[in-house]
Amino acid sequence: MQYLSELESTINDMVSKGRGILAADESTGTIAKRFKSIDVEASEENRRIWRSLLVSTEGLGEYISAIILFEESLNQKIDSGELIQQAAWAQKIVPGIKVDKGTTALALSPGDLITQGLDGLSERLQGYKSQGARFAKWREVYAVDQHLPSQHGIQANAEMLARYAAACQAEGIVPIVEPEVLMDGTHDIERHAEVTQAVQLAVFEALHRHKVVLELMILKPNMVLPGKELRRAEPDEVAAATLRVFRRTVPAAVPSINFLSGGLGPEEATANLNALNQQAADAPWKLSISYGRALQQTALQAWHGKAENVAAAQQALLKRARLNHLAMLGNYQAQLEND
């Protein structure tokens, strides 16, 4: 492989005990919704200020190994004049980029979605790499009910993830592979486990078919959960159901499983991660995070778009990152939330 040493170096920098990934790749529309919740205009300057706040948080690199950025972030600078990706790497936080172009309906497959963005991907990856991005992320989404996702939908989405991952490795970019089985709905935890298992099996079959090197990728999956319209599952139940599925489906060659939070609140996401690590002492992979809202929410609420609140917001982010660091070690306790 042409870029083997480069890919190995990036994996070594990203996969680190007790450190996780901060997902700050919200699209313009998504970040507008987040800002609306705190009555802040989603202007380009406010987006820059917010992302600058994140990467400028002193000490964040102790708990965060990588950050996923949105495309416009690669051209934005913090107040000192450094590019955002340069400021991240100054704390040994590896910068990466979201490269998919969002979902659309899968033709002739009602209810299934498919992600767009493969056209021109190799050329875009070359451009992002020249701007400092060392990894990429692509998300496929699976709705769950009694009939969804269809087998066709599962296979089509797996093929997209594998083609994306192969394109990344061919350009010296580490791929984060994100198959998200949604928690929206009224399904029970057994149904979510069944779908997650089918999805993971299809994904790894496709990755193998496309010759993706598993040691040089990161998996970003959902936890196994009941639909959010049902009862909340206890962390130990989530951990047991999730590990049962992943032990059946994820090869030991994958270095790290970095879970998405998928609509979980900050405390619930941290407690679930802690239970996973407590139950998985013998797991062949590191169990970590690639959280977005579950890391940023408390900081966003502390900030409220005001310069005088930046320090408080950074402290909130640092605390949330530290609690997840403890959860990665299986040492989180709920009472630490009040410290």
- Among residues 98, 129, 220, 286, which one is catalytic? 220
Q: How far apart are CA 23 and CA 185, in angstroms?
A: 24
- Among residues 26, 159, 171, 178, which one is catalytic? 178
* Residue 213 CB neighbour total at 10 angstroms: 17
Q: How far apart are CA 315 and CA 300, in angstroms?
A: 11
Q: How far apart are CA 81 and CA 319, in angstroms?
A: 27
For the question of residue 45 being annotated catalytic, the response is: no
Q: How far apart are CA 218 and CA 258, in angstroms?
A: 7
For the question of residue 306 being annotated catalytic, the response is: no
Which residues are registered as beta bridge partners of 103? 115
Q: How far apart are CA 239 and CA 305, in angstroms?
A: 36
Distance (Å) of CA 339 to CA 57, 296, 320, 334 = 19, 18, 12, 10
Catalytically annotated residues: 178, 220
